[in-house]
Structure 1
Amino acid sequence: MASERSWKPLSLFHVEYPEADAFGKLLAYSSMVPIFIIFSNITLIMSRRDLHTIFYFCGCLINELSNYLLKYIIKQPRPFPIIHPGIKSSGMPSNHAQFMGFFCAYIGFFLFIRLNQRSFSRQFTTSVYLVCASITALVCYSRVYLLYHTSTQVVVGIMIGGISGIIWFLIVHYAITPIFPRFTDSWIGQLLMLQDFTHINNFMHFEYTIVQNYIQTKSGRPA
């Protein structure tokens, strides 16, 4: 029986998995992917100050708020509270699944609509999306395997997050992106040095070229 097994917490973020279960430990690590995504976004925002990244992060926050409200309204318990007594929040919908559903849907539309208009090949965008979708599936499965949620709670979370991700991308892409210059030209945009990379086809190549040109100019080396 699941309740009779010894459960061991993963010390970094207190995610519990069955002791001596290597696959369970892997899934416990995968459960922390949303946290890594959040910290990655914060790091990108602080280093790039890119408006699209900022608005994606705003969408994540709205998605998290909706999950909190839904849990408060529905109040469906988790499947095995005796195994995870430290978890006090409700189970419906799964927070992890909703977060990853939002992430997967938003990234998918970003890759195939926004990046597809640039110099990235379909093979590249498809490969990146398959990786994101695989990670999403692994995280969602971990919530059921580790007995934090029922399969229904996870499926509902994915659906809500996916729909939210699609809607938020369409809002950002078609309604907010055209007015990015207003943000960058505003006094607060200049104060925070906000940037709009919408019209740059390949940001990595652009950044590399700018840095190399600057180094050559400062050192006096020929281009």
Structure 2
Amino acid sequence: MDDAPLASFSLTHVHYDPADRISYLCAWLALVPQGLCVVYATLIWSNREIEIGLMFAGQMACEALNWCLKRYIKEERPREMHGKGYGMPSSHAQFVSFFSVTLAFFLLFRHVPHPTETHTPLTFIQRFALSVIALASAAAVACSRIYLNYHTPRQVLVGCAAGVIFAVVWFGFTTYLRRAGWVEWALKTYLARMFRVRDLVVQEDLVDSGWARWEERRRRNAAFRVQSKKNK
């Protein structure tokens, strides 16, 4: 018997022109959504921040919306990529648009970090610059879908619009959850306490998380070693 034909796992299967350096770069840009999912999972597991969990929940809801829109509109991809699923709207463009706009909203309107003895947080201007970089990166990913012929310009523009609109709606929804006390209530539930879910990133930089405790432990250890030498 002949061996059964093998299937291609298309999660990271990207078509590009190997003779074109821009095409090669665009192929890497196509992997940004998968990379962001890894970042989400890593941050949620390591920091247990409810804000990151809410953002990831919105990201997945945005993906579900894209899945529904594609199967409702049923518009084919450009001729070069026919047979590889529907193209309207672009899921890559919608994914990165939601991520970048939500990140910008968080940095500019919700994140109010306080300085500590060991850390000076990013200023508003620095957070604004970071937001611009995030938006520019999202634009690069969206444009790469056109360059690789996976989507038409219209499909990418609609994907960007859907991602931006959903980001605005989701940010407003999570703002309501905070102001109405639902986030505070959720943090008091048994599951949240069992998984040690916290809400520190709104007022504390992630890079400063635990740093003060680490510095205090180092000072105590150093003082203990000095005292031990004196006792000898």
| Structure 1 position 13, deviation (Å) | 1.7
State how far apart, in whole Å, the 2-side matches of 1:216 and 1:182 are: 37
What's the CA shift for 1:172?
Answer: 1.2
Q: Of residues 98, 104, 107 in structure 2, which corresponds to 1:102?
A: 98
> What's the secondary structure of 2:151's corresponding residue?
coil
Dislocated runs of 4+, deviation >6 Å = none
Point out where structure 2 has 5 or more consecutive residues left out of the alignment.
1-9, 115-120, 225-232
Deviations 1:64-113 (A, max 9, x none): 00000000111000012xx33662x2000000011111112111211110
Which residue in 2 is equivalent to 1:173?
175
Deviations 1:117-142 (A, max 9, x none): 75532220121012111111110000
Report if the CA contact (8 A) 1:24-1:145 is conserved.
Answer: yes
SS of match in other structure, 1:196: coil
Alignment-mate amino acid for residue 84 of structure 1: M
User: 1:100–1:161: 8 Å Cα contact kept in structure 2?
Assistant: yes
Quick one: distance in 2 between partners of 1:199 and 1:13?
Answer: 34
Q: Which moves more between the two structures, 128-137 or 152-161?
A: 128-137
Structure 1 unpaired stretches of 5+: 1-10
Q: Compared with structure 1, are the counterparts of its residues 201 and 106 closer, same or farther at alpha carbon in structure 2 (3 Å cutoff)?
A: same
Q: How far apart are the structure 2 equivalents of 1:13 and 1:176?
A: 37
Task: State the match for 1:41 in structure 2.
Answer: 40
Number of the residue aligned with 1:125: 127
TM-score (norm 1): 0.85
Cα separation, partners in 2 of 1:16 and 1:158, compared to 1, 3 Å: same
Show the counterpart of 1:196: 199
1:114 aligns with 2:110: yes
Residues 210, 195 of structure 1: CA spacing in aligned structure 2 closer, same or farther, 3 A cutoff? same
Instruction: Tell me how far 1:12 sits from its aligned partner.
Output: 8.9
Shift of 1:206: 4.3
Matched, 1:74 2:73: yes
Cα deviation, residue 211, structure 1 = 2.1
Separation of aligned partners in 2, 1:35 and 1:29: 11
2:20: which partner in 1?
Answer: 21
Q: Describe the shift of the 1:127–1:199 C-alpha distance in structure 2 as closer, same or farther (beyond 3 A).
A: closer
Distance 1:63 1:189 in 2: 24
Q: Secondary structure of 1:174's partner? A: helix
Per-residue displacement from partner, 1:135-178 (whole Å, max 9, x unpaired)? 11110000001000000000000001001011111211232464
Matches within 5 A, 1:129-140: 129-140=131-142
**Equivalenced residues, count:** 208
- TM-superposed deviation, 1:34: 1.0
User: What is the CA–CA distance in structure 2 between the aligned matches of 1:171 and 1:55, rounded to whole Å?
Assistant: 10
Q: What is the aligned partner in structure 1 of residue 87 from structure 2?
A: 91
Structure number with larger C-alpha Rg: 2
- Root mean square deviation, CA, Å: 2.2
Identity %: 29
- 8 Å CA contact retained: 1:75, 1:92: yes
- Describe the SS at the equivalent of 1:157: helix
